[in-house]
Amino acid sequence: MMAPTLENSTESPPSLATLAPIQAVLFDVDGTLCDSDPLHYYAFREMLLEIGYNGGVPVDEEWFIKTIAGKHNDDIASALFPDDQERGLKFCDEKEAMFRRLVKDQLKPIDGLYKVKKWIEDRGLKRAAVTNAPRLNAELMIEILGLKGFFDVIIIGSECERAKPYPDPYLKALELLKVSKDHTFIFEDSFSGITAGVAAEMPVVGLATRNPPHVLMEAKPAFLIKDYEDSKLWTALEEIDKKSGATTTRV
């Protein structure tokens, strides 16, 4: 999968400083902590090809972004097999098993992830992973990335009343962390995830990892970044530090 191009803007991003003092930072997992979408795409493409889906024509990236990216498996199953939900769920379970085999050797963190991790740790902020991925997937990816001890809690969409794009998973994270939405922000990479965060009334920093920036902007993130090295992000974090009275060194 080709990564989208995020045009550089000379405009300052909307400020996150109004959140100071920051209490927590919430992260999606797929595409936000790690560049996992190419592995999901490969697994779906190969498995759908095996069963002759789409007349035996391999699905393309545009189809993947529209139908799969960021969505919960219940919704994916319905999209793939609208007349046979049980078959769809079984297919998704088998695809997730294939993904877990692939991920063990091929998972890579988003650039700058460990820098933003240190920024959060140095300020003693609470943190949660909030994802529509199955728990087995989420925990495996977090462990491979060396983040097992980083998150205070892992919220799984299927374990909430409603998964993303509804706000329930993010609201559950606030509840378990005992923090306020007025002092928390989110990192997300999908239209579905950004929609959920905005519905939970928190600013969302969108990562244009694989999904087209114009699609992400329709969900109304605070601003978009290419990755965690992006200067727009560090400008925003410095503003938070200034308002909070914290000392920071530009990364």
Distance from C-alpha of 199 to C-alpha of 33, rounded to nearest angstrom = 21
Are the CB atoms for 201 and 219 separated by under 8 Å? Answer: no
Q: Can you read off the two tokens belonging to residue 15?
A: 């400020």
Catalytic residue, from 30, 37, 75, 189: name it: 30
Q: What is the DSSP letter of 5?
A: P
Q: Report CA dihedral (53, 56, 62, 64) to the nearest 10 degrees.
A: 40
One-letter amino acid of 202: M
Catalytic residue, from 28, 168, 189, 227: name it: 28
How many Å separate Cα 35 from the centre of its chain?
10
Helix (H, G, I), strand (E, B) or coil at 54: helix
Q: Dmax over Cα atoms in the chain, in whole Å?
A: 60
Residue 189 to residues 4, 142, 180, 239, Cα–Cα distance (Å): 12, 16, 22, 23
Q: Can you read off the two tokens belonging to residue 140?
A: 């495996």
Alpha helices in the chain (DSSP H): 37-50, 61-67, 73-80, 85-106, 113-122, 135-144, 168-177, 191-199, 213-217, 231-244
111: annotated active-site residue: no
28: annotated active-site residue: yes
Q: Which residues are annotated as catalytic?
A: 28, 30
